[in-house]
Amino acid sequence: MNSQVRFFVVFLPFVLLILSTTSCGKFNKKEIPSLSKQSVQTGDEQAFDTYYENIPELKPLDKSKVYTIRVLRVKDNRLPDWSSSEYEELYREIEKGVKKYLGYRIQMKEVGQKEIVSFFASFSETFMQPPFRFWVGNHYLRLDLEEDRKRLRETISSEIQKRSPQVVRNYIPENRRREVDTFEKTVDFFYNEFLQKHIEIGKTDTFEKTPLRDGVYEITQQYMYWSALLMNLREADFVITNSIIAGADDGMPIYVINRGGVTSALTENNIHNELQGTIGMTLFPFISNEEFFLVARGSIPKHRVVYIVAMMAVHEFGHLLGRYREYYDQPGTPYNAPRGLAYYDWYRKILKNPLAKIPVKLETLEKY
Ligand SMILES: [Zn+2]
């Protein structure tokens, strides 16, 4: 062994160890970048626009073909989770539901399990690529920053302006409607409602007696990070986590604002797979027995939870396989997303509706 080789063999591991433990973020690939509007650089927005324009339009999928859906399980070790057999039961229910309500044939096949922080860290470089640095940095609201709290208020204000007064009013409890009687007071109402719920969700206890939204875990619960990650995923078509998406961004619709930032599931573009899209699903809002969720969602009989999560997955597969847009006016069908966290009520209405599985002509999307 010559001295040069020996140097590398003996010292290289130390050099790598030092590099990986210093907070020298630029060289530390494992650190998930904490992006904000300040992270966005000149040209990033253009890079995102170009990226988006170049995504091919969604092609219709074939109902006679069986599509294999590669499933990745992503685990937050601090939170309750299902057993492998419960997951298997879920996959079989989803397959049946997709056939019954959408007419597509799928086969769900687990391809791996990952710990959530290291899973996100494996996308650290992706998050720093110009299109995704823009996508996340420009839209994610970091509520520890005063400027972003101002942007949250603006988001709420413009969302209220977009919706009809009747729709907005439906989200205000009856006993508050009299006092919330001007536009400014309505913005205040939703702003306070959002922050109160958002903070309460974040404080939810974990097994480690740490808060749910703690340190690096905050990023793993952000819609914008999930969105960027799903666009870049190569190893799976469907990700399911026992965690939650309860973030803040400047594109939140009123029903997400009203539940403190919770998104149960999402479907994103993906240029790497045959389906041209990926689904991300969260379990925590369905299975948590913490007070906030018991109040907002109500309790769901244990034997029903798998069926309800499966129905939520059918809704997402409507986006992914049928290419359907989001619907608000198809009550009693899986095409409508559940209102608030009232999953059980939503599920029962679908079961009771004899027309739920009769396909209606639905509008399709060119891109997600
Ligand atoms: Zn949807």
What is the C-alpha to C-alpha distance for residues 338 and 303, in angstroms, rounded to an integer? 19
The Å distance, Cα 334 to ligand 1 centre, comes to 9
Rg (CA), the chain: 22
Predicted confidence at residue 1, as pLDDT, reads: 54
Residue segments in the chain with a per-residue pLDDT below the cut of 50: 19-28
CA 267, 298, 116, 112 torsion-angle sign? negative
Which residues neighbour 315 within 8 Å (Cβ) at sequence distance 6 or greater?
A: 265, 334, 335, 336, 337
The Å distance, Cα 266 to ligand 1 centre, comes to 7
What is the C-alpha to C-alpha distance for residues 47 and 37, in angstroms, rounded to an integer? 16
Which residues neighbour 78 within 8 Å (Cβ) at sequence distance 6 or greater?
A: 206, 207, 208, 210, 212, 217
The Å distance, Cα 323 to ligand 1 centre, comes to 11
Predicted confidence at residue 26, as pLDDT, reads: 42
The Å distance, Cα 24 to ligand 1 centre, comes to 40
Predicted confidence at residue 356, as pLDDT, reads: 83
Q: What is the residue type of 250?
A: D
Predicted confidence at residue 340, as pLDDT, reads: 80
The Å distance, Cα 140 to ligand 1 centre, comes to 20
Predicted confidence at residue 15, as pLDDT, reads: 52
Predicted confidence at residue 23, as pLDDT, reads: 42
The Å distance, Cα 364 to ligand 1 centre, comes to 12
Lookup: tokens for 92: 């079989």
The Å distance, Cα 297 to ligand 1 centre, comes to 18
**CA 215 to chain CA centroid, nearest Å:** 19
Predicted confidence at residue 236, as pLDDT, reads: 98
Predicted confidence at residue 24, as pLDDT, reads: 42
The Å distance, Cα 338 to ligand 1 centre, comes to 9
